[in-house]
Amino acid sequence: MALNINKQNKTTSIKLVCEVCNISKSTYYHKPKLSDENTIIADWLPRLVTAHKRWGFKLCYLYLRNIKDFKWNYKVFTEYTENWN
């Protein structure tokens, strides 16, 4: 939200935007660390989706969890919906 406010009105200072949104400046500048799991998921999903065009998310997820023995949770769904939905 703070980032959207600051993008809309570039003259507003970051300090003021953070105060209005009640967040710290470090939170405003925080960039999440990408894990190695994300790259593995991003590698597996396109192969599954192209090889099995009729598979939806649930079947891709169950295949990766049960057949390939990956113990992922929501990350697979997030990656799937962002790129292939």
Structurally, the chain folds into a number of domains equal to: 2
Banded pLDDT at 54 (limits 50, 70, 90): very high
Structure tokens given for 59: 């079947």
Q: Would you say the pTM of this structure is higher than 0.75?
A: no
Whole domain around residue 68: which residue ranges?
Answer: 36-83
Structure tokens at 41: 């998921």
Residues 4 and 40 in one domain: no
Q: What is the pLDDT of residue 64?
A: 85
Per-residue pLDDT at 78: 72
Looking at the chain, list the stretches that DSSP marks H as alpha helix, in order from N- to C-terminal side: 2-8, 14-21, 25-29, 36-51, 57-62, 74-83
The answer to whether residues 78 and 42 belong to one domain is yes
Average pLDDT over the chain, rounded to whole? 79
Question: Are 47 and 76 contained in the same domain?
Answer: yes
Same domain, 8 and 43: no
Give me 81's structure tokens: 């919906």
DSSP conformation class of 53: T
Closest CA to 21 of 34, 7, 3: 3
Tell me, what's the pLDDT at 42?
Answer: 78
